[in-house]
Amino acid sequence: MNHGQFFIGQKLSFATDSDLHTDIYETEITGIFPDRLELSISLHKGYLLLIPIGTNVRWLLPDQSSVFVSEVISRQPAQHTWSVTIPNLEKKEKKSRVIAIGSGKGGVGKTTFAINLSLALSKLGKRVIILDADIGMANVELLLKINAKLNLSNVLKGECILRDILTLGPEGIKILPGSSGVSSMTNLTPVQFNRIISGFADIEDECDIFIIDTGAGISELVLKFLEAADDLLLITNTEPHALMDTYGLTKALAYRNPDLKPLLVINRCETEAEAYKCSETFKKAAAKFLRLQPELIGWIYDDKRVSKSLKEQKPLYISHPGIDYSYQINNIANVLLGKNKSYEQPSGIVSFINKLKRNFG
């Protein structure tokens, strides 16, 4: 244990793996011994907090880059104390890759693309979770014919944990309904932040790729999501005003972080040549005026069957897996998996949430 992380009198927040204790709790260190920490039994909602022996505890420290865990080994209600094993670093598997998808305006097919891309990544063997971060719209659930009863706002209120709101979608993908709870992430209390961090740490091991379908446009929340992700993916179509709006979003991001490396997808192309022409125009403007080097990672032909699939609430990648549209989605998925290029190691969902917290602070 790094004793510098823990000291007598220190107040700590923690979460447990117990189905009966799913909130964020607080305690205080009353003693540090070679084999254990002694802690005060605190009140929670008017009751003594008696954590069962054998329960695993995850300590929620200000620096979430290192996660410490303990096991409850004794309780002494008469002395108002309980003891846990010396905290050890939690062993982590490989971290999830966070991909945030943005567009300069609505109506370019961002959510449709996010859903079909998620399905392609799942088909390629990856475990995918989508966060529907378009405030109040619930577009992902609507297009997948899913009626989510709980969302992120319920987690922030302490009514449930993050795992409870995960909703199973087609091909094994999972949806994390955001709704109005996403906007609350701009102003989290310490307890709410710990609820979010604990929840994402809990699901990190069952997610390879975490996709964020942001809202359209250039709101502060959208910019924060896009700049904090491992991969910033911009989608536009070939219409001049759509390209201009996407350029405006890129400009806003470049002003905040000139080292961003945006990835570009051109949607609703008539031909491959049209896709290249639009991307080259966009890339030249970004290089000249923003000193950025956006990278085209794919294009998608204009397919009239997309509109029908939206009405039927059945993604085209599922209903027509052999058409050009699905083939192109699959190509983009392969690029993002690193089959055609190498990426830096992903930072993980917990790191992503910490970046959001720092940015909003």
Tell me which of 89, 123, 155 is where a domain ends: 89
Residues 66 and 141 placed together within one structural domain of the fold: no
Instruction: Give the residue from 326, 115, 94 showing the smallest Cα distance to 230.
Output: 94
> Looking at the structure, do residues 145 and 62 belong to the same domain, yes or no?
no
Return d(Cα 286, Cα 284) in angstroms, integer: 5
Give the whole-angstrom CA distance, residue 296 versus residue 355. 26
**pLDDT digits 0-9 by tens, 262-313:** 999 999 999 999 999 999 999 999 999 999 999 999 999 999 999 999 999 9
Please return the burial class of 78, using the count of CB atoms within 10 Å of its CB with bins 0-12, 13-18 and 19+: exposed
Q: Check whether residue 141 and residue 74 sit in a common domain.
A: no
pTM, to two decimals:
0.79
Torsional class of 272: left (φ above 0), alpha (ψ -120 to 50), beta (otherwise):
alpha
Q: Say whether both 182 and 268 belong to one domain.
A: yes
CA distance 336 to 292: 20
Find the helix or strand (DSSP H, E) in which 185 lies. Answer: none
Are 76 and 102 found together in one domain?
no
Q: What is the pLDDT of residues 13-56, one digit of tens each?
A: 988 888 888 888 999 999 998 889 999 998 888 888 999 998 99
We report the CATH number of the domain holding residue 27 as: 2.40.10
Q: Pairing between strand 167-168 and 174-177?
A: antiparallel
Asked if residue 298 and residue 159 are part of one domain, the reply reads yes
- Both 173 and 65 in a single domain? no
Indicate if 168 and 235 belong to the same structural domain: yes
Task: Please give the mean pLDDT across all residues of the chain.
Answer: 88
Name the domain count of the chain. 2
Same domain, 140 and 175: yes
Query: Are the beta carbons of 162 and 199 closer than 8 angstroms?
Result: yes
The pLDDT, as a whole number, for residue 340 is 40
Same domain, yes or no: 311 and 176? yes
Average the pLDDT over 318-335 and give the result.
94
- Rounded CA-CA distance 54/158 in Å is 24
Higher pLDDT among residues 122 and 88, named by residue = 122
Regarding whether 328 and 216 lie in a shared domain, the answer is yes
If you average pLDDT over residues 147-163, what whole number do you get? Answer: 87
Last residue within a domain, chosen from 89, 113, 148:
89
Share of the chain above pLDDT 90, in %: 53
Residue 341 pLDDT exceeds 50: no
Which three-class secondary structure string do you get for 296-309?
Answer: EEEEEECCCHHHHH
Kindly tell me if the per-residue pLDDT of 105 is higher than 90. no
State the Cα–Cα distance between residues 269 and 274, nearest whole angstrom.
6
**Tokens 């701009």 belong to which residue?**
186
217 is in which domain, residue-wise?
97-360
Q: What is the model's pLDDT at position 136? A: 62
d(CA 310, CA 137): 15
Report the CATH number at residue 151: 3.40.50.300
Of 182, 95, 104, the closest CA to residue 140 belongs to: 182
d(CA 60, CA 357): 14
